[in-house]
Amino acid sequence: MNVEFELRRLLKFEPKANQFFRLAIVLYELGDLAKNLVYAARFPSYSSAHEKDAKLAAADLITMIHALCIEKGWDFEELRLLGLNRLKERYKEFYERGWREVQ
């Protein structure tokens, strides 16, 4: 399935939203992800259920970020690559400054 095509098709059915509305949804999904990851760590007996919910929240978050990119006219794949390259640069700087693994 072409994710970009399908997401664009689905967005046509939404009422016209502004970027702040989409951003609010992104933040909601981020909060759901954070909550479930914390709960998975804090409540080991329910860890499996919270891990599943965290995975769903991560999927929802990625989808809403992708939708925001479409609405802004940004290429999602280009942004993924840009983010990866920026992370590589930050890691390079961290190592140059003596970054070490936490023991």
State the total domains in the chain. 1
Residue 82 lies in a domain: no
Quick check: is 95 in a domain?
no
Containing domain of residue 26, as a range? 3-76
Inside any domain, residue 68: yes
Q: What band does 35 get if pLDDT is binned at 50, 70 and 90?
A: very high
Q: Quickly state the pLDDT bin for 14 (edges 50, 70, 90).
A: confident
Instruction: Tell me how far apart the alpha carbons of residues 51 and 11 are, in angstroms, rounded to a whole number.
Output: 28
| DSSP-derived 3-state class of residue 17 | coil
Q: How far apart are CA 57 and CA 3, in angstroms?
A: 17
DSSP secondary structure string for all residues of 63-81: HHHHHHHHHHT--HHHHHH
55-103 pLDDT, tens digit per residue, is 999 999 999 999 999 999 999 999 999 999 999 999 999 888 888 776 6
Closest CA to 55 of 27, 26, 32, 22: 32
In-domain check, residue 101: no
| Better pLDDT: 18 or 58 | 58
Residue 88 lies in a domain: no
Residue 81, in any domain of the structure: no
Give the pLDDT of residue 102: 66
Range 24-32 average pLDDT: 97
Does any domain span residue 64?
A: yes
- Is 51 in a helix, a strand, or coil? helix
Residue 15 inside a domain? The answer is yes
pLDDT of 103: 62
Give the per-residue pLDDT at 10: 94
Phi, psi dihedrals of residue 80, rounded to the nearest 5°: -60, -45
